[in-house]
Structure 1
Amino acid sequence: MALGSGCLRAGRGLLRAAGPRSLPARGRCAGGRPPAFGFLFDVDGVLVRGSQAVPAARRAFQRLSDGGGRLRVPVVFLTNAGNCLRSAKAQELSQALGLQPPPTTGFPTIEGVILFGEPVRWETSLQLIIDVLLSNGNPGAELQDIPYPHLPVLACNMDLLWMAEAKMPRFGHGTFLLCLENIYKKVTGRELKYEALIGKPSTVTYRYAEYLIQQQAEKQGWKSPIRRLYAVGDNPMSDVYGANLYNNYLKSAHQSQVQAGVKRSPQAASPQTEDHLQLRKDCNNSVESCESILVCTGVYRHNADVPSKTKEFTTETVFHGHRDFCFDPSLVEASYIVQDVNDAVQLAFKKENWS
């Protein structure tokens, strides 16, 4: 889910989001130029822990906003959390960070099974989903021939773990998917298939986040294109993996454009929609890189002193990603590791010579 933010407002939706209704004051660095960069912020473990804001988050947004509380650079909140209404989640985030309540729009609807986030009663939800799949959408009927392929299944969150207020990580929607996949295979002897996987680390999600960033810059009236994105997250297997995967995609896409126009680039093995191709046509494709910044306030913890200016490597040996994504150790190596989101903002500002 990508939440576009402008004038400290955020539009939220599953591959849909409303842009800011009013224009923020134009940000300026020491040289007087508009920003050529934007931020993609994860939420849980970066900005909040449960219902409590991470203290550094408020300091970070003080740096990002001007004296009137308006953002000086384009920002998108990129979260996989989708197990509540957008209006409720947006209000929750607004209160935690002291933001203005955002406008929201409705979810699109499709025929099939849409999995947004881990439920409260897992056994009940697992039973109902299996009933729907085995009955081809008619769970009140008696079980006869099991249809295969089954109804379309769309998953919007692949995080195995996430951080709330507890000291240890909590089971995420990726854990629920793991249960669903294994139950379906145990019952039918066949693999559960996904129509699409949306949310981090899927490239289509980052593509849409880039689209929102560019929309904000255009509404600001900034003529200078956005060239760089800084993706700040706490989870190497979703935030870092996704940002690095999208960075590879950007490099490949730019090479393809030079050679033969817009092409679909090679990616890690994952079911994808073709939406990102349309999104490429809808914006100016100016973004050249997406750098991953890993913070230590959530899933990832670092015990030693953490340098904020040099590249470090996470030593993940167990792949927590979804089964349909390949494990490439280089994709979980963060471009930078910092203590918290405020340090991440300072790091990006320094790299961009932004005051």
Structure 2
Amino acid sequence: MISAMPTLTNVRFVRTSRNWRSQPPGRRCISTLLPPRTPAFVFDIDGVLLRGETVLEPTRNAFRILHGENPFNRKIPYIFLTNGGGVSEETRCLNLSRQLGFDIPINRYIQSHTILKSIAHRFHDKHVLVLGGRGNTLKSVAHSYGFRKVYNPLDILAWNHAIYPFIDLTEEEKMMHGTHQDLSKVKFHAILVFHDPRNWGLDIQVMCDILRGNGFLAEPTSIHSATDVEVIFCNPDLLWKNEWEGPRLGQGGFRKAWEGVWSHLKMGQNDPVITQLGKPTRETYSFAADVLREVSDELDVKLTFGSSDDVGTLGRSSSNIYMIGDNPESDIAGANLAGWNSVLVHTGVYDPRHRPSLPESKRPTLEAKDVEEAVRLVIHEEIKFTR
């Protein structure tokens, strides 16, 4: 049961003139312990560090600890891993740097769609449809990743308003998204759901048209197989947390809505090739591990990768990597699959008052009320682990 998980109750770090020490009840001072190994952190953002645009109060204290005010007297490696997105990594880093009050290098920030950089070469000369974001923002991001022939649903709507007559584009949007190309003759090889779509109706309509036409927008004259059109979703989250009291529907909700419509329209056609990325998928956590390894090498911290068989069964993994998240479905489940440890905080999606227990696959190693407590608890656990 979650209530039996270790928490930070009665554990605090005390700064002295010489060092810090961990003072849980009845424990020895850190100076009598073996040299502890340094942990490495992977942080979710929404519901952990921020709630909407608001920085949660414990966040800045947590990063003071990571930047050197800790028992190791050194910088502790960390990266950000979010199922959010919608803009470039440069833009996101600038915004988060402004909010947190220190510079965040771009190599530490992984959005849900950052991993698409690694597959862009497969679609170098092929047409792709990009969903999500505002205006042409994600088209620009896709171009920066290496995709060359990129369209979004507003481009298609500007080409032929009849495809979804319930939206009227402004004159500015017509200028921005207009094309002289006959899009009915364009073969789309992939539909990339980068971020949460802004208009589910338009995007579901265009997706279904392309899939029923085996990559073409024109209404099919016969039933085609849709197996050569790849559909990639970057974020499986059904829910996410902002300033609103209750969780909001995310990209996972959009996928469920599209699947419901598609099941009634496909008329015996094969389903497309569907790839799900984002937390908790192995692909995303493997990508994050490579990024974290680079950051840790810069700080001369050695990473230890545990076994997924250990997590949940033994209570903790031998890994010194900790995922700090608020969503058991994505953050914690993914960490367990990767063989990492995890800390579930209570400032976001998960509320222990409403869900007092979790299945083993989504059960965290530790639990804390907020991110500062999570960081302090991890440091205490790593010190204890090396005794």
TM-score range relative to shorter protein: 0.5 to 0.7
Pick from 46, 50, 64: which aligns with 2:48? Answer: 46
Which residue pairs with 1:267 in the alignment? Answer: none
Pick from 338, 342, 360: which aligns with 1:292? Answer: 342
Q: What SS does the aligned partner of 1:112 have?
A: strand
Taking the aligned partners of 1:107 and 1:191, their CA distance within structure 2 comes to 30
1:92-135 per-position Cα deviation (integer Å, ceiling 9, x unaligned): 22222223153479324394111122112111111122222222
Taking the aligned partners of 1:135 and 1:154, their CA distance within structure 2 comes to 18
- 1:128 aligned onto 2:212: no
Give ranges in structure 1 of 5+ residues lacking alignment. 1-28, 248-289, 305-312, 317-328
2:235–2:251 Cα contact (<8 Å) kept: yes
2:204–2:258 Cα contact (<8 Å) kept: yes
Q: What SS does the aligned partner of 2:383 have?
A: coil
Against the structure 1 CA distance between its residues 118 and 62, is the aligned structure 2 distance closer, same or farther, given a 3 Å change threshold? Answer: same
Against the structure 1 CA distance between its residues 88 and 192, is the aligned structure 2 distance closer, same or farther, given a 3 Å change threshold? Answer: farther
Taking the aligned partners of 2:276 and 2:74, their CA distance within structure 1 comes to 31
TM-score (norm 2): 0.61
Which residue pairs with 1:109 in the alignment? Answer: 147
1:314–1:332 Cα contact (<8 Å) kept: no
- Pairwise mapping of residues 205-244 of structure 1 onto structure 2 (< 5 A)? 205-222=284-301, 224-226=302-304, 227-244=319-336
The one-letter amino acid of 1:77's match is F
Which residue pairs with 1:185 in the alignment? Answer: 263
- 1:143 aligned onto 2:220: yes
Q: What SS does the aligned partner of 1:201 have?
A: coil
TM-score (norm 1): 0.66
Which residue pairs with 2:39 in the alignment? Answer: 37
Against the structure 1 CA distance between its residues 73 and 132, is the aligned structure 2 distance closer, same or farther, given a 3 Å change threshold? Answer: same
The one-letter amino acid of 2:67's match is S
CA deviation after TM superposition for structure 1 residue 150, in Å: 4.6
Give ranges in structure 2 of 5+ residues lacking alignment. 1-29, 108-116, 118-143, 149-188, 305-318
- 1:315 aligned onto 2:357: yes
Which residue pairs with 1:66 in the alignment? Answer: 68
Taking the aligned partners of 2:79 and 2:99, their CA distance within structure 1 comes to 16
Q: What SS does the aligned partner of 2:227 have?
A: coil
CA deviation after TM superposition for structure 1 residue 315, in Å: 2.6
Q: What SS does the aligned partner of 1:119 have?
A: coil
Taking the aligned partners of 1:292 and 1:127, their CA distance within structure 2 comes to 39
Taking the aligned partners of 2:279 and 2:290, their CA distance within structure 1 comes to 16
Taking the aligned partners of 1:55 and 1:352, their CA distance within structure 2 comes to 25
1:236-278 per-position Cα deviation (integer Å, ceiling 9, x unaligned): 111111111222xxxxxxxxxxxxxxxxxxxxxxxxxxxxxxx
Against the structure 1 CA distance between its residues 156 and 95, is the aligned structure 2 distance closer, same or farther, given a 3 Å change threshold? Answer: same
1:218-249 per-position Cα deviation (integer Å, ceiling 9, x unaligned): 22344x444421111111111111111222xx
2:227–2:273 Cα contact (<8 Å) kept: no
- 1:202 aligned onto 2:281: yes
Q: What SS does the aligned partner of 1:93 have?
A: helix
The one-letter amino acid of 1:228's match is N
CA deviation after TM superposition for structure 1 residue 215, in Å: 1.2
CA deviation after TM superposition for structure 1 residue 155, in Å: 1.1
Which residue pairs with 1:79 in the alignment? Answer: 82
The one-letter amino acid of 1:132's match is I
Against the structure 1 CA distance between its residues 52 and 194, is the aligned structure 2 distance closer, same or farther, given a 3 Å change threshold? Answer: farther
CA deviation after TM superposition for structure 1 residue 314, in Å: 4.8
2:211–2:226 Cα contact (<8 Å) kept: no
CA deviation after TM superposition for structure 1 residue 144, in Å: 2.3
Against the structure 1 CA distance between its residues 225 and 235, is the aligned structure 2 distance closer, same or farther, given a 3 Å change threshold? Answer: closer
Q: Which has the larger radius of gyration?
A: 2
Taking the aligned partners of 2:242 and 2:147, their CA distance within structure 1 comes to 29
1:280-323 per-position Cα deviation (integer Å, ceiling 9, x unaligned): xxxxxxxxxx112111000011349xxxxxxxx9535xxxxxxx
1:338–1:344 Cα contact (<8 Å) kept: yes
Taking the aligned partners of 2:77 and 2:270, their CA distance within structure 1 comes to 41
Taking the aligned partners of 2:343 and 2:231, their CA distance within structure 1 comes to 31
